[in-house]
Amino acid sequence: MSHHYSGPDFGFPHGDAHIDLTDLYAFPKPGDAGKSILVMNVHPSFGMKPPGPTTSVPFSPEAIYELRIDTNGDSVADIAYRVRFTSTEGGAQTATLRRVEGAQAAGIGDHGQVILEWAPVSTGPEARVTEAGGYRFFAGWRSDPFYFDVEGALNNLQFTGNDYFADKDVCSIVLEAPNSDLGPKKMGLWVRTLDGASGKWVQADRGARSNQTPFLAGEQNPAYLAADPADDARFIPVFAHALEHTGGYTSAEATRVAGTMLPDILHYDPTRPASYPINGRALTDDVVDFFLPPSQMER
């Protein structure tokens, strides 16, 4: 999704960098056609407003980091993988991964079947991987694979050619899963973060496809972040307004293109190679070139 700063005015949702989603990747495991690699990146190491480093603590213990899977094309989650983290104890965090299906997957909460627990979070160069029941799991700081000229984007698209994220990090949650546990051959994917700091779970951020939230949601940003893909048709007018006024589209064309960008779901078939935006997303896919001319999203 490449949001990086998906909160209001290029800030963080709820003012918390820990629960800011940056990217979603999905691709077949190299050398093993029976498994897929799903990556949720969160928590940019550097903020724009205010500018400066965020925090060295990777994940919030008051949040749920969730991967959602639609298996029947109705834009409602049928399967969900939920990750909770402990508070830092002696500088270390651990993770618990749960899986839930059906009505519980479509809802909100931290319940579910435990797939693995006490998985160590990596804070250094060593990748600490936990394995259980056909799954492999990693969580921790890693170099940000996304590349984009942020300074140019914020200066009326007058690009400088500099990759702002070249020296930045993100916190990655990586799940290697059997395709048989992800549903049928073709699925829809998105991720979300839930904030429990108030004592009640509240959706803070969500997304799947590149760049849409900060550039197109406009004054509807908070409502968009709190919504589900099944309700995304209501955001077509605000997306169309942004396309019409920044992309030079006619009103009718802007509405048509906005309709191709929603619901905000990444379609993925694990039996086919990953190629954004047609099928999943590989780590090296150039998503920005597909977003800047939004009509490319119709491919």
Interval 249-259: pLDDT, tens: 899 999 999 99
Residue 16 has pLDDT above 50, yes or no: yes
Mean pLDDT (whole number) for 182-210 = 95
Interval 259-289: pLDDT, tens: 999 999 999 999 999 999 999 999 988 787 7
C-alpha–C-alpha distance, residues 100 and 111, integer Å: 8
C-alpha–C-alpha distance, residues 83 and 131, integer Å: 15
Which has more confidence, 67 or 292? 67
Q: Of 46, 40, 105, nearest to 78 (Cα)?
A: 105
Q: Of 172, 160, 182, 226, nearest to 29 (Cα)?
A: 182
Residue 164 has pLDDT above 80, yes or no: no
C-alpha–C-alpha distance, residues 22 and 42, integer Å: 5
Q: Of 298, 263, 295, nearest to 76 (Cα)?
A: 263
Mean pLDDT (whole number) for 92-112 = 96
Band of residue 295 on the pLDDT scale cut at 50, 70, 90: very low
pLDDT at position 296 is 40
Segments in 188-249 forming alpha helices (H) = 212-216, 221-226, 236-246
Band of residue 168 on the pLDDT scale cut at 50, 70, 90: confident
Contact 82, 107 (CB under 8 A): no
Q: What percent of the chain has pLDDT over 70?
A: 92
Backbone angles phi, psi at 121, to 5 degrees: -90, 135
Band of residue 95 on the pLDDT scale cut at 50, 70, 90: very high
pLDDT at position 81 is 98
User: Per-residue DSSP letters for 262-297?
Assistant: -S--EEE-TTS--BTTTB-B-TT--HHHHHSSGGGG
In angstroms, how far is the first alpha carbon of the chain from the final one? 17
Residue 298 has pLDDT above 50, yes or no: no
Contact 268, 248 (CB under 8 A): no
Mean pLDDT (whole number) for 91-114 = 95
Interval 39-76: pLDDT, tens: 999 999 988 777 899 999 999 999 999 999 999 999 99
- In this structure, the dihedral spanned by the alpha carbons of residues 126, 130, 131 and 132, taken in order and rounded to 10 degrees, is 180
Q: What percent of the chain has pLDDT over 90?
A: 71
